[in-house]
Amino acid sequence: LDKILKTAPRWRTGYRMIANDRVIDVGRWPDAGYAALPDDGKRFYADPFVMLRDGQHHVFVEEFPFATNKGVISHFVIDRDGRASAPTVVLEEPHHLSYPMLIVGGDQIYMIPESSQARSIDLYRADPFPHRWVRERRLVEGVNASDATLLRHGGKLWLLGTLAEEGGSTWDGLGAFMADNLFDEWRAHPANPLLIDSTCARPAGMVVKSAKGLIRPTQDCSAS
C-alpha cells in the first residue's frame, strides 16, 4: 500500500503573491518561485480557485484522498505573509468533485464544481461562506462535462467545458452551454463540440480579459 501511495498519479498546488507580474499578462513564467501546498502523501490537492474576501485570500481546491479514490472540495487561507492554513473539507458528495469554480452573484457567492460522475453541472451557494455549501439548482443534466468554466460575453453567460460521450475521452472535445442569466434555462450550443483538440480543449481556469482580448487558459492533454 505504501508503494502504491508513493507512486500514484498526483497533482500539486502551488501559489505565490503577485507583484505586477501576472503570468497571463507578461506571457512568461515569473522570476519568483511558487510555494507548494504541503500534503501528507496520502492525498493530493489540485484545481485551485482563489477569492479575495474580507482582506483574506480564500483558496478552494480539489482534495483527492487515495484511500477513497474520490475528490472532495477543501478550503484554506493564505495570509499576508504567504503562509497557508491547513485545508479543511467544505463540500462532499457521493460522487467525485473537483474544479471548484467560484462566482459572485449580487450578495451571494456560488460555486460550480465539476460533477461529471453525476452527469450534471450543479450550482452551489455558500451558506455561510466559506465553510458550508448547499446545492442551489441543477444547471445542466445528462452530460459528462469536465471543468465547466463560466464566461460573461456578448450579453450572455457561457459555460465552456469538455464533453465526453460514453467511453470517450474527457479532454479533447470542447462544448458550450448558454443562458441569459445564472438562473435561466441553460441550452447546449447547436454546434457542439466547438473544438476537437487534446492540446487546448480542456479548460484550466477562468477566462481572463486583457488588453489582447479574452484569454482562455487550457490544459495540454496530448500526452494523456
Average pLDDT, rounded, for the chain: 93
**3-class SS at 100?**
strand
Distance CA 78, CA 13 (A): 13
Residue type, 1: L
pLDDT score for 2: 55
Lowest mean pLDDT, pick from 85-89, 107-111, 205-209, 211-215: 211-215
5 pLDDT higher than 70? no
What is the pLDDT confidence band of residue 3, given thresholds at 50, 70 and 90?
low
For 186-199, write each residue's pLDDT tens digit: 999 999 999 999 99
End-to-end CA distance of the chain: 25
Lowest mean pLDDT, pick from 5-14, 57-66, 145-154, 208-217: 5-14
Residue-wise over 71-96: b if at least 16 C-beta within 10 A, else e?
bbbbbbebeeeeebeebeebbebeeb
Q: pTM value?
A: 0.93
175 pLDDT higher than 60? yes
Please name every residue paired with 140 in a beta bridge, in sequence order, or none if there are none.
121
CB 50 within 8 Å of CB 30: no
- Sign of the C-alpha dihedral computed for residues 42, 48, 53 and 55 taken in this order: positive
